[in-house]
Structure 1
Amino acid sequence: MIQLEHISKVFDGKKGQTQALKNVSLSVQKGEIFGVIGYSGAGKSTLVRCVNLLERPTEGRIMINDRDLTTLSNAQLNESRRKIGMIFQGFNLLSTATVYQNIFLPLKLTGVSKKEANERVVKYLRIVGLEDKQEAYPAQLSGGQKQRVAIARALAHEPEVLLSDEATSALDPDTTEAILDLLLKINRELNITILLITHEMHVIQKVCDHVAVMENGEVIESGSVLDIFTDPQHTTTKRFTSSLFKGDVPQDLLESLEQRGSVVTLSFVGNSSEEPALAAVSKKFDVYPNILSGNITQLKDQPFGRLVVFFEGNNDETTLAINYLESVGVKVEGVDKSVRSDYRVS
């Protein structure tokens, strides 16, 4: 559906050139929600603006439905952009226009008939749950309602692809949850492919099928959300995934416990998170598990849990216990002391 091939972007400035993107390649399948996450300055917003050529890449190809946008004439590009909706952090609504007009006027400007434009306004306001706000002005709406209007405006052009650039970052937690639920609804009911840019791992966790992690203009890790959560490779990825699991164990406590036994991280995925595997360990083996921290969170389609556990006992029995846990689908790792869950995102 979306294929980014070796995308690089260089900006010229008074102090010289800045390379915002470096040889980025991504593949987004039709009907999925693909997330791109990174800290401030990673290049993710530049990347999403390259998808519809709001920023033209210095090198590389942008393929949507096997059509290379970088080779199109202006007229052809404008036609293709009608199938690519976009929502932003800042809403970008006309302050002097009503909700109805904010959706109706862009449709009229692209040549949609008055009758069809009216039908689309009504349809998509209903989908986003704002059918009773047609005559309201943006100043009369909450932040979440403004974003719903922006989403309805994007959907009214009936795109095949929806680009979301930090669409929830200006919203409070409850409103963010509601907008994410709306994006899930749009994806499932309208089969619209969504490419989503964010710095919040919670957003990736809740709605995305696949994710790419960016740093310094490069993709440093990518894969299914499940794979990234259960087996992150890069330090930055580990910081993001750890941010969802609060409750770091103090360093001096870890060092003290490791002199008496083993401290490990247990990851429970899907059905394994529902099994009383840890409780069975103390009955089957001569070890005593003590949970130091952890919780269970929900990925898009299945639960995922992580516990930091101290096993007190001799090495042989601990090894048998760990082998048993792995046999029932629990991933066992040593505690990574270099990654802390309180790392702040700018």
Structure 2
Amino acid sequence: MIRLENITKTYKSGGTVTKAVDDVSIQVEKGSIYGVIGYSGAGKSTLVRMVNLLERPTDGKVFINDIELTSLSTGKLQKTRQRIGMIFQSFNLLKTGTVYQNIAIPLKLTGVPKKEIEARVDKYLEIVGLSDKHEAYPSELSGGQKQRVAIARALAHEPEVLLCDEATSALDPDTTESILTLLEQINRDFGITILLITHEMHVVQKICHEVAVMENGKVIEQGRVVDIFSKPETTTSKRFVQSLFQDELPKSLVSRLKERGQIVNLSFIGESSGSPALALVSKKFDVYPSILAGNITQLKDQPFGRLVVHLDGEAEETARAVAFLEENGVVVEGYVQEVEAHVG
């Protein structure tokens, strides 16, 4: 559905050349919700703006439904863009226009007949839960309501793709939850492919099927959300996962416990999250597990649990216990005292 091939974006200022996006390739399947996560300055917002060519890549190709946007004429590109909706962190609403006008005016500019405009405005305001706000002005709306108007405006063009650039980062937690639930509903009911840019791991956890992690303009890790959560490979990914679980232990405790046995991270995915594998360890082996920290959360459609556990026992017995846990679907990793802090 969306395919980015070796996308690079450079900016020149005086004699300085900056690579905002550096040789990025991503493929988003039709009907999926794909997240791109990174800290400030990672290049993710520049990347999403190149999907509909609001920013033209310096190098590389952009495909939507196997149509190469980077090769289209201006006229054909404008027509293709009508099938790509976009919502922004700052809402981008006309302050002097009513809710109705904010949705209707862009439709009028693309030649949609008046009766069709009226029907679409009514339909999509109902979908976002604002049927009673036709004549309201943006100044009369809450942040969440403004974002719902922006979503209705994007949907009114009946797109195949919806791009979300930090769509929830200006909202409070409860409103964020409601907007994410709405995006899930839109994806489910209309089959719209969503590419979502965020710096919040909670957003990825809540609704994304797959995720790419960006740093310094590059994609440093990508794959299924459940795989990235259960076994992150890069320091940045580990920090994002750790931000959800807050399972860092005091150094003095780690030092003392490592004198006998080992400390491990256990990840329980799907059906294994309800397995008594850890409880059976002390019965099967000369090992005594102690839970030091942990939590269970929901990754899209399946539960995901993470525990920090001390396995008290001799090396040979703890190795057998770890093998038993892995055989029962538990992902086991050695505990790392701390993940490097992000600078930037």
TM-score w.r.t. the length of structure 2 is 0.97
* Preserved contact between residue 164 and residue 195 of structure 1 (Cα < 8 Å): yes
Residue pairs, 1:124-135, within 5 angstroms: 124-135=124-135
What is the CA distance between 1:283 and its match in structure 2? Answer: 2.3
Distance change in 2, residues 1:182/1:345 (3 Å): farther
What is the CA distance between 1:333 and its match in structure 2? Answer: 1.2
The amino acid of 1:211's aligned partner reads V
The amino acid of 1:172's aligned partner reads D
Query: Which segments of 5 or more consecutive residues in structure 2 lack a partner in the other structure?
Result: none
- Residue matched to 2:222: 222
Q: Give the 3-state SS of the residue equivalent to 2:245 in structure 1.
A: coil
What is the CA distance between 1:338 and its match in structure 2? Answer: 3.6
- Residue matched to 2:72: 72
- Residue matched to 2:300: 300
CA deviation string 1:237-266 (max 9, x = no partner)? 111111111131111211110102211111
Whole-angstrom CA distance in 2 between matches of 1:69 and 1:169: 29
- Residue matched to 2:273: 273
The amino acid of 1:173's aligned partner reads P
Whole-angstrom CA distance in 2 between matches of 1:167 and 1:15: 35
Residue pairs, 1:110-129, within 5 angstroms: 110-129=110-129
Q: Give the 3-state SS of the residue equivalent to 1:133 in structure 2.
A: coil
CA deviation string 1:81-131 (max 9, x = no partner)? 000000000001111111111111111111000000000001101111111
Matched, 1:325 2:299: no
* Preserved contact between residue 22 and residue 218 of structure 1 (Cα < 8 Å): yes
Whole-angstrom CA distance in 2 between matches of 1:110 and 1:29: 28
Whole-angstrom CA distance in 1 between matches of 2:60 and 2:324: 49
Whole-angstrom CA distance in 2 between matches of 1:23 and 1:316: 46
- Residue matched to 1:335: 335
The amino acid of 1:6's aligned partner reads N
What is the CA distance between 1:15 and its match in structure 2? Answer: 5.0
Whole-angstrom CA distance in 2 between matches of 1:270 and 1:83: 36
Q: Give the 3-state SS of the residue equivalent to 1:11 in structure 2.
A: strand
Residue pairs, 1:1-346, within 5 angstroms: 1-14=1-14, 16-339=16-339
Whole-angstrom CA distance in 2 between matches of 1:344 and 1:302: 29
What is the CA distance between 1:312 and its match in structure 2? Answer: 1.4
Whole-angstrom CA distance in 2 between matches of 1:32 and 1:108: 30
TM superposition outliers: structure 1 runs of 4+ over 3 Å: 343-346
What is the CA distance between 1:278 and its match in structure 2? Answer: 1.5
* Preserved contact between residue 99 and residue 137 of structure 1 (Cα < 8 Å): yes
Q: Give the 3-state SS of the residue equivalent to 2:279 in structure 1.
A: helix
Whole-angstrom CA distance in 2 between matches of 1:102 and 1:2: 28
Whole-angstrom CA distance in 2 between matches of 1:323 and 1:79: 57
TM-score w.r.t. the length of structure 1 is 0.97
Name the Cα RMSD after superposition: 1.3
Whole-angstrom CA distance in 2 between matches of 1:177 and 1:345: 28
What is the CA distance between 1:4 and its match in structure 2? Answer: 0.4
Identity of aligned residues (%): 66
What is the CA distance between 1:282 and its match in structure 2? Answer: 1.9
* Preserved contact between residue 249 and residue 337 of structure 2 (Cα < 8 Å): no
Whole-angstrom CA distance in 2 between matches of 1:344 and 1:58: 28
Query: Which segments of 5 or more consecutive residues in structure 1 lack a partner in the other structure?
Result: none
* Preserved contact between residue 221 and residue 233 of structure 1 (Cα < 8 Å): yes
Whole-angstrom CA distance in 2 between matches of 1:4 and 1:15: 29
* Preserved contact between residue 40 and residue 345 of structure 1 (Cα < 8 Å): no
The amino acid of 1:125's aligned partner reads L
